Chains A and B, each alone.
Chain A
Amino acid sequence: KAGVTQTPRYLIKTRGQQVTLSCSPISGHRSVSWYQQTPGQGLQFLFEYFSETQRNKGNFPGRFSGRQFSNSRSEMNVSTLELGDSALYLCASSSKVGGSGTEAFFGQGTRLTVV
């Protein structure tokens, strides 16, 4: 069973540009969550999608947005990039959105560097 796939793995962008990151969840998983990891702030929740609907959102500015497609693949977009957006962006997929505890599976992340 293929794991969570994130593309691209590495990305370098210039301040002011925008970027789109992609996440393909494990087959059959309908929940996709996104996280930002930086040395200073650690792992922070961005948003969660389930069946093409955003269920939860973290405390990030509106420059950060996402969407989910009917095949459960998800994209996140960051517009007007700032130096502080340099981070590892992680995606996780899960088969459930609630109820009894089950594991979430994380991808290896996309390393975004803003110069």
Chain B
Amino acid sequence: DAKTTQPNSMESNEEEPVHLPCNHSTISGTDYIHWYRQLPSQGPEYVIHGLTSNVNNRMASLAIAEDRKSSTLILHRATLRDAAVYYCILRDRDNFNKFYFGSGTKLNVKP
């Protein structure tokens, strides 16, 4: 059921930017792109979301391709606390809270 594809794992050095890619080639016009992350032993935590335009918040930036078939989550300066599994999720406007999580990307941050 997962409609997104992400690399299984990525590694980054502390204080450096991280670009986490996500492919969602079957996205429909009403799907919102959401990113969540799950720290060890915790429930998923909202990071950012967007529909068509690039978005910024205090945690990250979201770059959405013009055709919306892919997106990239950007952490501008990775910290050790950012080590987590990052999930890219499409939220259907009509089945809004029925998340398909996929396998996510496990981000490892090296000091």
Report whether chain A binds chain B: yes
Q: Which residues in A have some Cβ–Cβ distance to B below 8 Å?
A: 4, 31, 33, 35, 42-45, 48, 55-56, 58, 90, 92, 94, 96-101, 103-109
Closest to A48 in B: B97
B103 cross-chain contacts in A, Cβ below 8 A: 42
Are B96 and A106 in contact (CB-based, < 8 A)? no
Query: A92-B97, A94-B96 are known contacts. Are A103 and B46 too (CB-CB below 8 A)?
Result: yes
Which of B13-21, B71-79, B87-95 participates in binding chain A? B87-95
Main secondary structure, interface of B, reads: loop
Q: Report yes or no: B96 in contact with A98, Cβ–Cβ below 8 A.
A: yes
Please determine whether A105 and B99 come into contact, CB atoms closer than 8 angstroms.
Answer: no
* B69 CB to nearest chain A CB (Å): 18
Residues of chain B lying within 8 A (CB to CB) of residue A101 = 32, 34, 49-51, 91
- B98 & A106 in contact (Cβ 8 Å cutoff): no
Taking a contact as CB atoms closer than 8 A, the residue among B34, B42, B99 that contacts A45 in the complex is B99
- The 8 A CB mask of B91-111 against A (1 = contact, 0 = none) is 101111111111110000000
